[in-house]
Amino acid sequence: MDNTNFDLFRLSEDHEIIREAVRAVARDKIAPYAADVDEQGRYPREANDALVASDFHAPHVPEEYGGAGADALATCIVIEEVARVCASSSLVPAVNKLGSMPLLLAASDEVKAKYLPPLAKGEGGFSYGLSEREAGSDTASMKCRAVADGDDWILNGHKAWITNAGVSEYYTVLAVTDPDGKRGSNVSAFVVEKSDPGFSFGAPERKLGIKGSPTRELHFDNVRIPGDRMVGKPGEGLKIALRTLDHTRITIGAQAVGIAQGALDEAVAYVKEREQFGKTIGEFQGVQFMLADMAMAVETARQMVYVAAAKSERGDDDVTFYGAAAKCHASDVAMKVTTDAVQLLGGAGYTRDFPAERMMRDAKITQIYEGTNQVQRLVMARQLLR
């Protein structure tokens, strides 16, 4: 795991321009609605529209399909800056990448040409259907089935915990296509369209955080999928799914960094104004030490995410380790930093009048989705021991 390419630690001018641009969009058009989105548990339509208008809703889509062609690091910067003010809104670009990454990795030219241009135009988001109620970390035990019927496939079963379900127009869905085949090599991937007959959604989950991003089940009742909508070859689905996660876990790391940075921003602003014992609480050494530790943790997490993103862009062999490490470390940092931010705001931090409590609730999911942090540690250990 040689990491001696020092260019990784210098952002290009283009990356800095992207950061400035998305930060302005986040500040002016996303942050004002963040509290209401959380309070009402509603989809962040204002953020979605602002991201589409500025071409930040799916920046990873290649230029040949009408996209911005942003590299992995630029995409992480977009997600980080949006998450800094609203974690729910940052799932627009994050999930669009997650849902469409299997196509970029393995789909035919025809499938890419059909689905990536509308994604790039903002005409339809992309979600990802892998998990089931009884097949979370153990993805190979999924029960969703697709049975061949001529050139088509008939899909039955369900998927659970699907981000932006019901909002997205397109879904990359994994299903067992060879029940008697070797475990892990009997799953295939398909694109399912929201309008497909027999495809429906469960009720929205009632969640601790990211309340603006709908999380629902996908239900398939004899859904007919044309054979040309398969992503990759039959039996390659799980391999494609795991390769996808190698790249997209890094975006969850970026989301976690953004949430943590937002909480640190709130804490710094508060302690500079709040007075006790005749001076601002930011003048107390105990508070200063907390802030220093928080800032140090955020910056180490950011650097890990950026290194992993650079490795993702290059397709390095060790991206599996670095993707898991970046996601795991950054999400642990986000949980710790947001908790400390609430502590520094004291009673105010425990109220909805300040965003710190929302950030703390939002941070928790980053330790869970796209593979729990316990699974990330297993992934890293296996990479070290192989």
Q: Which residues are catalytic?
A: 370
The dihedrals phi and psi of 149, each to the nearest 5 degrees, come to: -140, 90
Query: What Å distances lie between residue 372 and 168, 252, 280, 308, 327, CA to CA?
Result: 24, 12, 39, 18, 10
Which residue type occupies 382? R
Query: CA-CA distance, 137 to 128, in Å (whole number)?
Result: 15
Query: CA-CA distance, 147 to 225, in Å (whole number)?
Result: 10
Are the CB atoms for 362 and 331 separated by under 8 Å? no
Query: CA-CA distance, 137 to 158, in Å (whole number)?
Result: 16
Residues written for the chain:
386
Largest CA distance in the chain: 80
